[in-house]
Amino acid sequence: MKIVIPILIFFAAIVLQTTLVQFASIFHILPNLVLTVGISWAILRSYKETVLCGLFAGIMLDMLSGTEFGIKTISLIIILIGVNLLAKEFLSGPRILLLTSLSFAGTIFYGLMNFYLLNLTFYLKLIHFKPELTWYVLVGQGVYNMLLVFLVFWILSKIDKWLLYYSKQVKLSR
């Protein structure tokens, strides 16, 4: 149950990302629901769960996207691990500040890592690499994710509370 729920959450996020989210584009910028869910989950849950969820979500993203297999998985796992470590061990302060800053920075680094890894696979050598377009997309998405993360975090914190309650009940019944 402990791992089934996050898997279902990430599966739903991927399905929504490839369908519903496409209708929410503003100036051709889309939010990254999977990344937002991942960042919120990494703030709320343990390191182990963050890695496993990142792995699962990354593999699904790789299967559904057209880029070289593995790029999304590696980028997502590294970003989520970074967010988890920063939120649990290094950063403290108001949660709103933590959420917005990690969401914005996470989006930017995730995008840059994607580009960097694509470059390593020679993918970008074939295309027009336009820094101004890349920054437009990345910063736009960062702002969009920063707004979306509040709603996502609120929903996930409810699920997190329920999961904690459920695991306590299981322990007590033993």
Q: How far is the CB of 26 from other proteins (least distance, A)?
A: 11
Which residue from 26, 33, 105 is spatially nearest to 64, judged by alpha carbons?
A: 33
Tell whether residue 108 is a contact of other proteins (CB under 8 A): no
Binding of other proteins at residue 123 (CB under 8 A)? yes
Sign of CA dihedral 22, 63, 74, 116: negative
Return the range that interacts with other proteins (CB under 8 A); candidates 2-10, 12-20, 93-101, 147-155: 12-20
| Pairwise CA distance, residues 153 & 118, whole Å | 30
Verify binding: residue 122, other proteins, rule CB under 8 A.
Answer: no
Q: Is 26 helix (H, G, I), strand (E, B) or coil?
A: strand
Q: Does 134 bind other proteins (CB under 8 A)?
A: yes
For residue 83, count CB atoms less than 10 angstroms from its CB and return exposed for 0-12, middle for 13-18, buried for 19 or more.
Answer: buried
**Which 61-100 positions form the footprint of other proteins (CB under 8 A)?**
61, 63-66, 69-70, 72-74, 77, 81
| Binding residues for other proteins, total number by CB under 8 A | 42
> Hey, which residues between 16 and 55 contact other proteins (CB under 8 A)?
16-20, 22-23, 25, 28, 30, 32, 34, 47-48, 51, 55
To other proteins, the closest distance from the beta carbon of 119 in angstroms equals 13
Which of these, 62, 80, 68, lies nearest to 117 by C-alpha position?
68
Q: Hey, how many other C-beta atoms are within 10 angstroms of the C-beta on 137?
A: 15
Rg for the chain, CA atoms, rounded: 17
CA 174, CA 172: separation in Å to the nearest integer? 5
Within residues 140-169, the interface with other proteins by CB under 8 A covers none
Told to check if 112 binds other proteins by CB under 8 A, we report: no
Q: Name the residues that contact other proteins, by CB under 8 A.
A: 11, 14-20, 22-23, 25, 28, 30, 32, 34, 47-48, 51, 55, 58-61, 63-66, 69-70, 72-74, 77, 81, 123, 126-128, 130, 133-134, 137
